[in-house]
Structure 1
Amino acid sequence: LRTGLTHEALGVIYEVGSSTIGRAIGEIRPLLAERGFAVPDRPGIRLRTLADVFAYAEAENVTLRIDGMETQVRRPRAGRPGRRAFVSGKRKQNTIKTTTISDHQGRTLWSGAERPGRMHDQTAMRTEGIAEQFRQHPEVKAEVDDGYRGLANEFPDQVSAPPSKPKDMGDGPVTEYYGWREHKRRQSSRRICVEHANAEVRQWRPIQRYTGRRETYGETHQAIASLVSDRAAQRPTRRRTSTELVPVRTAAC
């Protein structure tokens, strides 16, 4: 999973046939995918569903960061039904979309909702029942990007999205433009940690470009994300204190 070696290469390393490697992967990969995601400072507890994530966020007062990710996959055969469903309008490639949820330190709490690349990020999360989770947990808050603006409009007290660009940008006052840009910058800095969580997953070769069967991508993604969450959960929780200030460089007189 880390390097994306082929079955033939693994067979040479372990001195077995490639079919033996395929059977072993078929047995081990589902076990890794079903493990769930590690909880920071809570060894032995795993988050496996979206309901588990929202229950944890409400109990620990954690503001969730939500973002989507696309992975290029093999193009379906010509004439196969549903071929266009995997063509991403953003990347102009055949992709599969997933959604990642992290905490304020970029530690992966959940990753899933595998959908064809043509589907919108917000539609994929609504299919997973995220709107119902926000209704059941009114204290949970989340930071999202422009792709989830519909959720921000539906739950304005819980979901924070970047502000919309003023329509009369050219004719309006300059202060309005700079105010909008500063608001967007601050919102982006609050949710940049989920981008870091996606970057950790992308360090694994299969997520950079998946060359296997598209039907097995979801299981592979879940297995890799669960392993990444284990390593991220071991990072100590960093809390900024009053004495932790930005260093100031002084010049000698």
Structure 2
Amino acid sequence: MADEYGATLWCGGHRPGRMHDTTAARVEGVDALLDAYPQVTVLVDAGYRGLAKTHPGQVVAPPLKLRPGAPPARQTAWEAERKQQPSQRIPVEHAIAELKWWRQLQRFTGRRELLPETIDAVAGLVSDRMITW
């Protein structure tokens, strides 16, 4: 997670195996935090569409694709909506990309147990650097 300026706020929980984005958010308590702070608005990508369904108006996901044969006016409105949301998410995407630029995360060859600590350390360095700019 990142704020609107691109500063890294949270890298998520580290769990063995694979887990869907929405499930991970619920397991880590993001779902409960959204319930506790209804004034917070979150822009998410398509992986969090389930979270957007449970928190309408608070979690904003990209619009679903239109079915074939939709009226031209609806297609035009959909295109505008589809382009608006990702443009607002650009600082978040840059924050995610900045973590991936670090060589330690690009080619991690250490022990698997040390990867969560490495991710947290890099995220802390990136976040601190963003604050000092």
- TM-score of the pair, normalised by structure 2: 0.92
Q: Using a 3 Å threshold, how does the CA distance of structure 1 residues 189 and 210 change in structure 2: closer, same or farther?
A: same
Per-residue CA deviations over 1:31-57 (Å, capped at 9, x if unaligned) read xxxxxxxxxxxxxxxxxxxxxxxxxxx
Higher helix share: 2
Higher alpha-carbon Rg: 1
Cross-structure match for 1:179: 77
**1:175 Cα deviation (Å)?**
2.3
Is 1:112–1:222's contact at 8 Å kept on the other side of the alignment? no
Q: Using a 3 Å threshold, how does the CA distance of structure 1 residues 115 and 175 change in structure 2: closer, same or farther?
A: farther
Q: Which stretch of structure 1 is more off in the superposition, 142-151 or 202-211?
A: 202-211
In the alignment, the residues of structure 2 paired with residue 133 and residue 221 of structure 1 have an alpha-carbon distance, to the nearest angstrom, of: 23
Is 1:115–1:124's contact at 8 Å kept on the other side of the alignment? no
DSSP 3-state at the match of 1:109 = coil
1:1-40 matches, cutoff 5 A: none
Q: What is the RMSD of the two structures over their aligned residues, measured on CA atoms?
A: 1.4
May I ask how many residue pairs the two structures share in their alignment?
Answer: 133
Q: Using a 3 Å threshold, how does the CA distance of structure 1 residues 232 and 218 change in structure 2: closer, same or farther?
A: same
Q: Which amino acid aligns with 2:86?
A: S
Is 1:201–1:224's contact at 8 Å kept on the other side of the alignment? yes
State the identity %: 49
Cross-structure match for 1:42: none
Is 1:112–1:218's contact at 8 Å kept on the other side of the alignment? no
In the alignment, the residues of structure 1 paired with residue 14 and residue 57 of structure 2 have an alpha-carbon distance, to the nearest angstrom, of: 27
**1:118 Cα deviation (Å)?**
2.9
Q: Using a 3 Å threshold, how does the CA distance of structure 1 residues 209 and 124 change in structure 2: closer, same or farther?
A: farther
In the alignment, the residues of structure 2 paired with residue 220 and residue 128 of structure 1 have an alpha-carbon distance, to the nearest angstrom, of: 19
1:1-253 matches, cutoff 5 A: 101-116=1-16, 118-167=18-67, 169=68, 171-235=69-133
Cross-structure match for 1:66: none
Is 2:12–2:28's contact at 8 Å kept on the other side of the alignment? no
In the alignment, the residues of structure 1 paired with residue 86 and residue 12 of structure 2 have an alpha-carbon distance, to the nearest angstrom, of: 22
Is 1:102–1:197's contact at 8 Å kept on the other side of the alignment? yes
Any gaps of 5 or more consecutive residues in structure 2?
Answer: none
Q: Using a 3 Å threshold, how does the CA distance of structure 1 residues 115 and 181 change in structure 2: closer, same or farther?
A: farther
Q: Which amino acid aligns with 1:104?
A: E
Q: Using a 3 Å threshold, how does the CA distance of structure 1 residues 117 and 197 change in structure 2: closer, same or farther?
A: farther
- Structure 1 ranges of 4+ moved more than 4 A: none
In the alignment, the residues of structure 2 paired with residue 215 and residue 179 of structure 1 have an alpha-carbon distance, to the nearest angstrom, of: 48
**1:116 Cα deviation (Å)?**
4.5
DSSP 3-state at the match of 2:11 = strand
